[in-house]
Amino acid sequence: MSVRRLEYLQWAGFIAGGTIWFASFLAGLWTSAAVCNAGSSRWGVPLDSVELGIGVFTLACLAVSEAAAITVFRATRAVDEEGPPPPARMKFFAIGAMTGNVLFAMIIVLSTLAAVVDRACHQA
């Protein structure tokens, strides 16, 4: 695989995890606002189904990001960490992306479960 393609995969693996999590967070926030607000509650948005759909879609996108990071790591496995800049940097970012994506996956799973199991509207 070419160095340019590995660099694209490196950045996709590194940046996509946080971006995907933030997008799912905002989508869940907007969904709960649509369910709990008095003006939009008559729309009948099924909170549990939408939250599960957001969670599954987000985890699928995160799996693609993790696969990109693993591909870069496997391609630069033999490179020394203190070696020349392009391959050593790609290996460093791939390791960071693999670790970060696992953490983002756990955050997504736990927040999706919390949104589905817990009550959405806590109004007094």
Domain ranges of the chain: 3-117
Q: For residue 118, which amino acid is it? A: D
Look at residue 123 in the predicted model and tell me its pLDDT: 61
pTM: 0.85
pLDDT tens-digit series, residues 16-39: 999 999 999 999 999 888 888 877
Contacts of 47 (CB under 8 A, 6+ apart): 31, 32, 35, 115, 120
Nearest C-alpha neighbor of 70 from the set 102, 98, 90, 96: 98
Q: How confident is the model at residue 80 (pLDDT cuts 50, 70, 90)?
A: confident
Look at residue 37 in the predicted model and tell me its pLDDT: 82
Q: How confident is the model at residue 71 (pLDDT cuts 50, 70, 90)?
A: very high
The more confident residue out of 72 and 41 is 72
